[in-house]
Amino acid sequence: VHRSGPGVVARGRWHHLVASWDGQTKRLWVDGQLVGQWAFTGPLRPGRHPIRLGAMGEQREATRFLDGDLA
């Protein structure tokens, strides 16, 4: 698991987040600034759990919903 450094995203403030993977490198941008990149050539193996965009999963239920927009 890779994460941005502390203080990159502030609670209660809107941010523009972008994550990408080109088959070689994972990259994370916050508000137009590259804040992290990590070598990763795969393979990419999806987990057995459902994908939740803008929410977490706890005890087989979606919870902790994102107060924001996804595009």
Per-residue tens of pLDDT for the chain, all 71 residues = 788 889 999 988 989 999 999 999 999 999 999 999 999 998 888 888 788 888 988 888 889 898 888 87
> pTM of the full predicted structure?
0.70
Return d(Cα 58, Cα 61) in angstroms, integer: 5
- CA 35, chain centre distance (Å): 12
Contact, 36 vs 28, CB < 8 A?
yes
